[in-house]
Structure 1
């Protein structure tokens, strides 16, 4: 009996962070190896490269384009009077987590900032994003999630948002990062449902970003148990001076690019009875 393939979304994060990332993502979209990317409007290298990304969807949609809400250092707010600031930029992730968990953040600051980043996306692309997610998963945090969902529900009601819980069959207990994301996503999904906002049914793509990480061996694990409509995040890119100045995730981006642009990637998809969803005529997960 023929088994229908599961259709998934493979989303490259961080478009706009650096020219090398932008070029790698556009190349993979053009080669049919990605069907979604999320854009950082608070990053310094979007500008005219928003137009280059839009051109790839001329005629037929090759990739969904989302907003990658950015709330951590070294990036700077787009809104006035954002707090807390550290050296005129957002706080580091560890500090943001601590402040969120102790409820020491003011929701109105995040409401204004997320609205500003959404407005910047509209200015760059002439429309609302297809979906919205968060850099370093900061959108899942207490206080932040309420501001995030309120803004998206009111200003981009047709967009879906990323929840980061793994499929039930893909939850190894030794993966502490995955377990944290599973827990944070429980309340996030419940709040999104209350706002009438769609979410992806399952998530994959988190792994330890260490120099020894073997991405071609890691990626097939993300396909295990991932349901139809599931989402895998990824971070392909080419290393350049701009990237080195902004992010610690460098060489692994080139390994991810090499894998996705290789013959091994479609073979792994076929072996797991998975294919990339076709963005044309689709808005994304219906969960």
Structure 2
């Protein structure tokens, strides 16, 4: 059986999301989560996650956040309204090299420090909200900060596994195009990455998520990673993020009785492969 990582993104974006992720970790339905560090109450969320993940073999990572309708930890990344830029604006600035590298580095540094303070140590892995960690300018800051603060952590390479592409999968291919050379750049700093990525889709309600998840898990190789976004919708989530109802759809599939069938059908087990940490098998 292939060992893969099934990672829930956006821990700490809202209480309903955090609680759902903790329940899934405790039930061994996922074996990783990525934490946003820019909201109030991080220490309490960290303590609850550590308790739920104790002896579960779960990887707890930093979800570097540089986009969204909420405030950054540092002034340099704040726009006129005091919030992060939209993804489209950040993407254009990064690709045209107009993104301030000092401002990005300062914000990334602050998020690493916030994680360490809340969790009592460095992250087990590092990735990015809306995959910003692979973009020009941001990539350099994230890799440098990881090498400095968490040299034993693994990083998320969002290059799609061919078998995990959903049809032509424009979204997955586009995300993968931004990640070109990311694994090579990480290796130059003696940092490791996952081997193949799946989980990208348009989050519309018309999808059969159970079928999608089976496809993603079947399609990633040994050492691959599939991202998910489970959660319960509450007022903080609605105020902070447009992805709401589909989180509940994903949560119900992940916690349901059919999840064991999905894992068996994909012939995978949720475990960190060799070189991606020293956690016990999930």
TM tier, smaller: over 0.9
Name stretches of at least 5 consecutive residues in structure 2 with no aligned partner: none
Regions of 4+ moved over 6 Å? none
Q: Is the 8 A contact 1:16 1:44 kept in 2?
A: no
CA RMSD of aligned residues (A): 1.9
Corresponding residue for residue 66 of structure 2:
71
1:201-222: CA deviations, max 9, x gaps? 1111111111322211211110
Name stretches of at least 5 consecutive residues in structure 1 with no aligned partner: none
Matched, 1:25 2:21: yes
Q: Is the 8 A contact 2:143 2:186 kept in 1?
A: yes
Q: Secondary structure at the match of 2:181?
A: helix
As a proportion of its length, which structure holds more helix? 2
1:246-265: CA deviations, max 9, x gaps? 01110100110100111211
1:27-74: CA deviations, max 9, x gaps? 11111101111110013453312101111233x243111000000021
Q: How does 1:105-116 map to 2 (within 5 A)?
A: 105-116=99-110
Q: How many residues in Structure 1 have an aligned counterpart in Structure 2?
A: 278
Q: TM-score, normalised by structure 2?
A: 0.93
Distance 1:168 1:284 in 2: 28
1:135-155: CA deviations, max 9, x gaps? 000111111111111111122
Corresponding residue for residue 268 of structure 1:
262
Q: How does 1:37-186 map to 2 (within 5 A)?
A: 37-58=33-54, 60-79=55-74, 81-83=75-77, 85-171=79-165, 174-186=168-180
Q: TM-score, normalised by structure 1?
A: 0.92
CA spacing shift, 1:278–1:148, aligned 2, 3 Å:
closer
